[in-house]
Each structure stands twice: as structure tokens, then as C-alpha cells.
Amino acid sequence: MPAKRIIPCLDVKEGRTVKGVNFEGLVDVGDAVELGARYALEGADELVYLDISASREGRNTFTRLVERIADRINIPFTVGGGIATIDDAARLLDAGADKITVNSAAVANPQLVSDIAARYGSQFVVVAVDAKQIDGVWRITTHGGSKLTERELFEWVVEVESSGAGEIMFTSMDHDGTRSGYPCDTFARMADTLGIPVIASGGAGCVADIAQVLSVGKADAALAASIFHYGEISISQLKRQLSEQGIDVRL
């Protein structure tokens, strides 16, 4: 079984890494390339960069940023944010990204996943999935959790796997931002249902939360932002503590 991965997530606005709550009250936490390079040196297995700028100028800035990241950083990195067409994906992959991630656009047009996978291969496609529980049923949301759909979580992830997704990055909108841990039973069920890796996103408040989702939750990777950006723990420290708990990580 492959080692569990630790993946810092960097939200990017006009080339800078920012942090906020639901993209409000954004605080600049550093240069996106320099921060990513630091995380790579600390032992990050991969990086995720998300473009949160909606303007066309922002998209052009982000493309140039991807080229800089590819020149500087020697670990795999995934990029996403506003990818709605195969041309959007092609632009970023051709700029040097190792993978792209799609979310709302895939819900609106599931064929997008198939089209990207057909052109580049499943290993290039990560489908980000946001969901919340409504009357005990996990329902897919889009647009940062603000729009509720009729799609059920497990039906959707099975569909996107069959469409060619290489990985699923799942966020519970009920847990995101709470720093109170992950819905590990749901992650475990997803891992048992799918034959592709599952990345746990949203809810990490401490090492114990990450350890639990990687073990009890059977997630293949854990994605986090604030605990790294604000220096609460380094990636190397996190990995050592996970290893001490018997979780297989690359040290």
C-alpha cells in the first residue's frame, strides 16, 4: 500500500497566497512560489494551488504563476479554480501543472471529466467534491458550498470515477473551517467504495485529526492549509508524529 500523503493547499489571488474564511477577510500569507518551495523542502508530498481570482487578468496571472512553480518546485502539484472547459485544463497542464482539479464545472457538465481524462489520462484529473448532510443524506454542493444540488455523494463519486477521475478530493461542508476533525466514517465508506485514491480536505485542527482520517478514515492523503501557513506545525514535525503513531508516511 502506498505511503499516506501530506498535501498543503495554497489559495492564490494575483500570485500571492491568501487565507480567509469562505474567501472573505483575506490575509496575505506569502509568495505562492516561495511558500510552496518551503513546503517542498519540509517534506510535502504534493501541493495544491487554487486560483480564487475570478477575473481574466487573474487567470493570466495564475497561468504565469504555474509556469514559475513548474520551474522552481520539484514535487507534484495540482492546480484548480475556475476550470470549466478542456481548454482551461489544457492551458494549465501545458504550463507545467502535474494535475488539475475540477469541481462545480464537473457537476454542471460531467463530460468534462471524461474529456480531460481522454486527452491527458486519468492520472491528471482530480475531482473535488463538496457535500453536506441534509436529513441524513449527503448531498453534493457547488460554488464553495453555497448551492445545493440533488446529487447524492456516493452516487456522484462512483460516476466520476467511471468517467475517468484519477482521484477524489472530498470536503464535508459541515466540517470545513471548524477545525474539529473529519467525518471519518464517511471517508472510510468512500475509500471502500472507490478504487481510486481519496484526499481528505477540510476540518483539520490538530495532528490527531489528520492521524484519524488517514487511519480510521482510510484516506490516502490529507490536505491542509491554516495549520501550515500559520506555523502551528511544520510538515516534517507532522510526519514524524504520524509515523510515531504507526502511519506510513514518507520521511
Cell triple for 184: 471519518
The confidence score (pLDDT) of residue 113 equals: 97
Name the grid cell of 83: 476550470
Mean pLDDT by 10 residues, the chain (251 residues): 94 80 66 94 96 68 92 97 92 96 94 96 97 94 88 98 98 81 95 98 90 97 90 94 97 93
237 vs 240: CA distance, rounded Å: 5
- Tell me, yes or no, whether 235 lies in a domain: yes
Q: What is the pLDDT of residue 59?
A: 75
Residue 31 resides in a domain = yes
Residue 249 lies in a domain: no
Exactly one of 11, 88, 176, 209 is catalytic; which is it?
A: 11
Q: CB–CB of 123/166 below 8 Å?
A: yes
> For residue 22, what pLDDT is reported?
52
Instruction: Name the active-site residue from 45, 51, 88, 130.
Output: 130
The answer to whether position 237 is within a domain reads yes
Active site residue 51: no
Please report the pLDDT score of residue 112 as a whole number: 97
Residue at 251 is within a domain: no
- The CA distance from 213 to 130, in Å, is 17
Q: Considering the domain boundaries, does residue 193 fall inside one?
A: yes
250 falls within a domain? no
Residue 81 in domain: yes
Three-state secondary-structure class, residue 202:
coil
Kindly state the cell numbers that stand for 178: 471548524
Handedness of CA 166, 23, 81, 31 (dihedral sign): negative
CATH of the domain at 52: 3.20.20.70
Has 248 been annotated as catalytic? no
The total number of structural domains in the chain stands at 1
Residue 210: which domain range?
A: 5-244
CA 47 from centre of chain: 9
